[in-house]
Chains A and B, each alone.
Chain A
Amino acid sequence: MSSDLTADEARAALAGASSSAARLRQRARWASTQMMVLGLGMGAVTVGVGLIESKLLGAAVFAAWGVLALIMRRWTSRRTAHLTGTRGRTAPYRSLSLALYGVAIAAGGDAYGDPTYWVSAAVLVTVPMFVGAFRERRA
């Protein structure tokens, strides 16, 4: 059978396989969405920590973050295809966002209640996650 394969048949086989691969790859690009959602969550927590005076509301922000993390974990476990190397590609962006969150909290002691500082800090914390999400969408 293979000895009869013409150039047109070879091109058709390549095109068919290429579209199957593209469809599965598209399904496996979920890490981008995960990083966008977690990035927004981290930004919201950063703003909440610096601007919310009520201890009850502050606790509610952390509880909401915990719920979001659990929902995303469950959502991730239900993904039906995985790209090669997703963890390795996204880990630096996650680590950088966490590190920036730590720096923002440590340096923001005197800026408590200052929206300029905390909104800027939230944006800074979110940016690495968004960059990672953007790059993962093109992986």
Chain B
Amino acid sequence: MSAIDWAVLFVYLIGIVALGYWVGRNNRKIDDFFLAGREMPWWAVGLSVMATQISAITFISTTAQAYTDGMRFLVVYFALPFAMVILCVTLVPFFYRAQVFTAYEYLERRFDLKTRTLTSLCFLLQRGMAVGVTLYAPSIVLASILGLSETTTIFMMAGGTILYVLKGGNRSVIWTDVVQMGIIWFGIFLCLFIAIWNLPDTFSFRDALGLAQANGRLNTISLDTSLETPYTLWAGLIGGLFLMLSYFGCDQSQVQRYLSGSSLKESRLSLLFNAFLKVPMQFLILLTGALVFVFFHFEKPPALFNPVAEARLRQIAPAELGPAEDRYTAAFEARKTKAVAFAEARRQGGEGDGPALVAAQAEFNAARTGVVDVYKKATGDAGYGDNNYIFLTYILNELPKGAVGLVIAVIFAAAMSTLSGEFNSLATASMIDFVRRFRAPGSGSDSGDLMLSRAFTAFWGGFAVLIAMQAGRLGSAIEVVNRFGSYFYGSILGVFMLAILTKRANGTGASLGLFIGMAVVGTVATTTKVHFLWWNVVGAVTVFVVGYLISLATPTKQAAA
């Protein structure tokens, strides 16, 4: 990156930490620290909800998804607006009227202490490990692309975030999220504009869409009914609905955002704000990825998008790389020729030779796979993959000076906005569901609680850094925990469904149902090829049915007269 890009990045980092520190300077009680005094306007909370949801890796992997596979990933978000309406009618009024700090606190009031403790513990375990991955995944990509060490990028992202969340809690999280979301939106439009601007003069925007379409990069909706096919319309609408209901309704990192609204109306409006904007935003991000795919028809992309891997391969296996690279270059030139002919034919009133484009793309993919195979063989790294490097490679090589720094700042903003919400929610669950719940009545003071809440924020921030720095070595353990998180999402939704949809359900049914639900999802995940979006349906339905049946078979305490 140039000096001006580094300057832009550092202005962002210093500015966001200063803003977070300044807005959070007046916290006196944990109501301020965890719920921003319950006085946030809907638009700020709405942007914060959006910012917490979009992480750095979502940003860079979504564009890569469009580049390599098309826009089918968009269906995951189709059910989000429906989920928001359902939540506004059901869970949000419950949480708001109960004046809870955490979603799990509500479960104690509805069921019992063990249900609250169990679900909160599951959240801490799953989210605590996941936040390490949220930090690690973009850190490793940015380190490689920017020529920094992983430790440096980890500290650049987490260090600043911990500083302002420690000082200002949720108020700092929300106001910095507002700015970060503004930067992210600006970055999305900038990337889209530059992706169109960078097309060759002889290639119109419509030609670009035609080329992307011919290669399946505009494919969005698949009506395939197989449960194993990824991202079908049905998986998006049904599985995605359960996923979104669980994430926005039962995950403390989101619930805490909208509990900060100054009224029930503000909390609801913040979610509905997302309902209107989320799908168009994801569409624009995916479209950018599809246009980057078109752009690389005219500018040769590196065979390996990870520059460190490419340099290593040149060093250790130059002889094997030579022929594979020659084939790759020839395939690129052939594909470029077909693309130019495609546009020329369209200019003359034809439709362009789509099948020839597809054949050229297939040869190009095979040639790139050849180079990747050489790398895998030479290094023994059978799991090598570089999709997450595609978008950043494009940014660094094709954007003008200044814009590069800004888009890298966008990636940092996406990471920091997610991390801040997660640090704050982990500290909240630790403090409210465990410390305040189990200590002797009457003990503790506002200042002591505030100090302890900050200590928990520092603990979870440090824990995330530790996990991120050890992630390379923890590999399989992290995968296990993330898998556990996938089992948990639908299942916890089942517990909340039992809470609000039935009168007969009790704590024993909910707790046992949660265990059984996760076990069933685990079995489905490990023994079948059912796509992960359906796991949420399996988990929620299992917990609801099993929990209800157990509740029928176990005594429920009678209401006091």
A interacts with B: no
